[in-house]
Structure 1
Amino acid sequence: MKTTGNTIFISGGSAGIGLAIAKKLNATGNKIIINGRSEERLTDALKELDGAAAIQGDLSVEADRIRIAEDLKTNHSDVNIIINNAGAAYAYLLSETTNAHEKAAIEMNTNYLAIIHFTELLLPQLLQKTAAAVVNISSLAVFGSHKFLPTYGATKAALHSYTVALRYTYEEQKNLQIYEVYPPLVNTEFSAEIGGANGIPPSEVADELFTALEKGQFDVPVGETKKYYAATQEAFAKIKS
């Protein structure tokens, strides 16, 4: 995948991993369009991105997804990469809540269903490009759950399954590539309540994604996730042999 001259839409691009990716790809000669719920955060983020644009909205809301997709089709028809980064997570113990199903529903909608719908809305445009990509930001949580994030991992596992199916669906269409990034704990405001201060910097995720785009490496494990990813690949290889 070329790493310059793209027009890239990044959901959740006003902070954390999304902003780090926006900065990296902006600095390497790409046009960036960031999305987020907060107009104030978007305005602040744009100050750090040369020539970038922003579209405010909550992609977990269907009406906003449709509006943002139409905005991209009408005003940014050159978009050839979408990075589905926006997410939701609740840190809690199942033994200390009576509304786990409500938290899980929000996480599943944001981390899985909304991404499927938004990608579906943009696929016709992406398929018209000479070179295009969908990048889904999943998680180390794909490889196992955690008692303090009891329902979050399932949503990322679902996203992983969808991403693999999407890749298989379009593997013969060489103009569309499907990437999945697996960050471990990252030091962002998003992960603060689960010890994010002990995580890797978001710039490390951005650097790994950039390298993967250069190489055409569709699975992008980052940091600690590399050992889990390697173990699963080894297990799959044994099953196939």
Structure 2
Amino acid sequence: MRINGNTIFIPGATSGIGLALALRLHDAGNQVVIGGRRTELLADIAAQHPGIDTVRIDTADAASIAAAAHEVIARHPDLNVLVTMAGIMRAEDWTTPGSFLENAEATVTTNLLGPIRLISAFVEHLLAQPDATIMTVSSGLAFAPLRVTPTYNATKAAIHQLSETLRLQFAGSSVSVVELVPPSVQTELMPGHQDDPFAMPLAEYIDETMTILETQPDAAEVQVERVKFLRYGEARGDQAQVIRALNGSDALAAN
């Protein structure tokens, strides 16, 4: 993925990693369209950052995705990058019957069906572009499980495999597939996580991510150094130790 000259749609970019990445990509010389559910928040972002466009979208709603895709493509026919950023992370205790199903279903709908539906809505348009990118967002927890977030872990593992497989299917086309693999980052993804001293500061994460995008334009996975502890436990042969460390302290949780 080239670092500038793109038209990029990022649903789920009204806060956290999504917003920070959107602003940096805008500053790098891209047309950025931010998607989110809250119209007042979208209006505030557009007012504070002239040149950024916004569209309302609820990635848990198939009809909303279809309507937003139609709107974005109509307003920005040169759109060539889709970043499937939107996601939720909720604690679940599967040993307590009846306590987890609602959260588990919501997580699957947002974190897995959302990206699938988004890609489906945009893929015909992206294939018609001379140079296009689908950027998925998995997690270090796709590779090492955090005990308190079983469905989140599972959806991010699924996103990783989806990314790997789509890369095979799109080989030889104009569409590349890039997987963003965040570690634990100081955002509001879970209550209090934005103040976690063991999580990676958001500005540091975005700085390193932008450097990777600029210096490694053909990277299949965007991995900052901090996520490699989780990403390569099996390859190093120390996965059991990784899992113990991860679950001994939530400080090593991935985004």
The one of 212, 227, 230 aligned to 1:228: 230
Deviating above 6 A after TM superposition, structure 1's stretches of 4 or more consecutive aligned residues are none
Aligned to 1:160: 160
Aligned to 2:144: 144
Aligned to 1:188: 187
Give the deviation of 1:211 after TM superposition: 3.0
The 1:176–1:203 alpha-carbon spacing in structure 2 relative to 1, beyond 3 Å, is farther
Give the deviation of 1:195 after TM superposition: 6.8
Give the deviation of 1:192 after TM superposition: 2.9
Q: Whole-Å Cα distance in 2 between the matches of residues 194 and 91 of structure 1?
A: 13
Aligned to 2:107: 107
The letter for the 2-side match of 1:178 is V
Contact 2:46–2:52 (CA under 8 A) maintained in structure 1: yes
Q: 2:186 is paired with a residue of what secondary structure?
A: coil
Identity of aligned residues (%): 31
Query: Under a length normalisation based on structure 2, what TM-score does the superposition of the two structures give?
Result: 0.85
How many correspondences in the alignment? 234
Aligned to 1:238: none
Contact 1:6–1:79 (CA under 8 A) maintained in structure 2: yes
The letter for the 1-side match of 2:181 is Y
Contact 1:187–1:202 (CA under 8 A) maintained in structure 2: yes
Unaligned runs of 5+ in 1: 236-241
Aligned to 2:38: 38
The 1:165–1:196 alpha-carbon spacing in structure 2 relative to 1, beyond 3 Å, is farther
The letter for the 2-side match of 1:179 is V
Aligned to 1:203: 203
Q: Whole-Å Cα distance in 1 between the matches of residues 190 and 165 of structure 2?
A: 28
The 1:225–1:97 alpha-carbon spacing in structure 2 relative to 1, beyond 3 Å, is farther
Contact 2:7–2:30 (CA under 8 A) maintained in structure 1: yes
Q: Whole-Å Cα distance in 2 between the matches of residues 233 and 43 of structure 1?
A: 46
The 1:129–1:209 alpha-carbon spacing in structure 2 relative to 1, beyond 3 Å, is farther
Aligned to 1:88: 88
Q: Whole-Å Cα distance in 1 between the matches of residues 31 and 150 of structure 2?
A: 37
Q: 2:95 is paired with a residue of what secondary structure?
A: helix
Give the deviation of 1:194 after TM superposition: 5.1
Aligned to 2:220: 218
The letter for the 2-side match of 1:226 is K
Aligned to 2:15: 15
Aligned to 2:58: 58
49-58 or 92-101, which moves further after superposition? 92-101
The letter for the 1-side match of 2:109 is N
Give the deviation of 1:136 after TM superposition: 0.8
Unaligned runs of 5+ in 2: 238-255
The 1:15–1:97 alpha-carbon spacing in structure 2 relative to 1, beyond 3 Å, is farther
Give the deviation of 1:73 after TM superposition: 1.9
Q: Whole-Å Cα distance in 1 between the matches of residues 105 and 82 of structure 2?
A: 24
Aligned to 1:69: 69
Contact 1:136–1:163 (CA under 8 A) maintained in structure 2: yes
Contact 1:142–1:153 (CA under 8 A) maintained in structure 2: yes
The letter for the 2-side match of 1:110 is T
Contact 1:139–1:183 (CA under 8 A) maintained in structure 2: yes
Give the deviation of 1:232 after TM superposition: 4.5
Q: Whole-Å Cα distance in 2 between the matches of residues 203 and 194 of structure 1?
A: 15
The letter for the 2-side match of 1:111 is N
